[in-house]
Amino acid sequence: MRVVVLSGGRSSEHEVSLAGGASVARGLRSAGHEVVEVMLTRAGTWLHEDEELRLRAGGGLLEADVVFPVLHGPFGEDGTVQGLLEMLDVPYVGSGVLASAVCLDKVVAKDLMAQAGIPQVAYVGVRAGRWAAAREEVLADLAVLGLPVFVKPARLGSSVGIAKVADPAELGAALDAAFQHDPCVIVEAMSAGVEVECSVLGPTSAPRVSEPGEIVLQTEWYDFAAKYEPDGMQLRVPARISDAAHDRLRTIAADAFTRFGCSGLARADFFVEGETVLLNELNTMPGFTPTSVYAKLWELGGVPYDEVVTRLCELGVGRHAQERSYRH
């Protein structure tokens, strides 16, 4: 296939995206595909071979058979680029507009998880307007979560803008810092459970779930350094959880993937407290850097990197053909 790989983007995860895009491009070339690389600048310009691209509705993208958007955070993983690719009428890897937008917004996703009865940690969503108008009321609302808590921008990944707060005097400053990244912030109660992740691959209706991997940290918590620096964390497979928790975790991952309408891929992140399995979030475009968990879990399960990226491209082509069969 002729595959256009998109990387970079306007979000604070620009550099992570570039590293992941380079890895995907190498994997695709290793599998024998023709790769065309497009870099999205921080200003939003799309560049191919240092030339700015001009896009036309229905005109495809550089004659690609499929596009692989290795983009994270706003303006890439949130449904915006997915919508643009829909307008270009080109197949692409990963979830569509709605699932991408919902899964990136942690407050919306957790509200829907709560409605579906999916177990999760306690949380409170805070909007910037309310924080500006009623700081003391917000802090009182957050007290029900106890301490420590994690304060996160609602629509970023890679642990950007996140703070662990154990002192109530530091909570206001952590919220102020998070609001520099996003107009909505989520505050989550801390789980003392084992942090476990699994990779999901496949169509919406029949996803395949990898063996769960336990995140063994060399740092206090799973911050940016732990995710992207060498030896920041170790991935332990099999995870040190019971057989019952193992089976429950994989079932929840597949169910959530289908329930949210995801397609192609996702990484499901959990906390396991004894026999209790708590879903933290689904990432519809997880990292693809050399240290990233998504592909590692498949490789440990016997599926090499180049086969994973090839399968994702095939799934994108198949979903596009299926959706074009409907009359709108």
Per-residue confidence of the chain (328 residues) as pLDDT tens digits? 999 999 999 988 899 999 999 999 999 999 999 999 999 999 999 999 999 999 999 999 999 999 999 999 999 999 999 999 999 999 999 999 999 999 999 999 999 999 999 999 999 999 999 999 999 999 999 999 999 999 999 988 656 789 999 999 999 999 999 999 899 999 999 999 999 999 999 999 999 999 999 999 876 655 555 455 666 689 999 999 999 999 999 999 999 999 999 999 999 999 999 999 999 999 999 999 878 999 999 999 999 999 999 999 999 999 999 999 998 7
Q: Is 228 a catalytic residue?
A: yes
Q: How far apart are CA 277 and CA 69, in angstroms?
A: 31
* Spatial CA neighbour of 11 closest among 40, 37, 31, 35: 40
* pLDDT value at residue 12: 84
The residue annotated as part of the active site, out of 287, 306, 311, 319, is 287
Q: Is 136 a catalytic residue?
A: no
Q: Which two tokens stand for residue 54?
A: 């001009």
Domains in the chain, ordered, with CATH?
A: 2-94 (3.40.50.20), 101-119+192-318 (3.30.470.20), 123-189 (3.30.1490.20)
Q: Is 95 a catalytic residue?
A: no
The residue annotated as part of the active site, out of 228, 250, 264, 294, is 228
Q: Is 287 a catalytic residue?
A: yes
Report yes or no on whether pTM surpasses 0.75: yes
Q: What share of the chain is helix, strand, coil (3-state, %, to 5)?
A: 40, 25, 40
**Buried residues in 242-276 as b, exposed as e (16+ CB within 10 A):** eeebbebbbebbbebbbbbebbbbbbbbbbbbeee
What residues form DSSP beta bridges with 231? none
Q: Are 275 and 242 in contact (CB under 8 A)?
A: yes
Q: Are 11 and 153 in contact (CB under 8 A)?
A: no
Q: Is 269 a catalytic residue?
A: yes
The residue annotated as part of the active site, out of 95, 210, 283, 292, is 283
Instruction: Report DSSP state, residue 211.
Output: P
The residue annotated as part of the active site, out of 158, 159, 191, 280, is 158
The residue annotated as part of the active site, out of 267, 292, 305, 306, is 267
* pLDDT value at residue 105: 96
* pLDDT value at residue 291: 81
The residue annotated as part of the active site, out of 78, 197, 269, 306, is 269
The residue annotated as part of the active site, out of 7, 11, 12, 13, is 13
* pLDDT value at residue 282: 97
* pLDDT value at residue 156: 80
Q: Is 211 a catalytic residue?
A: no
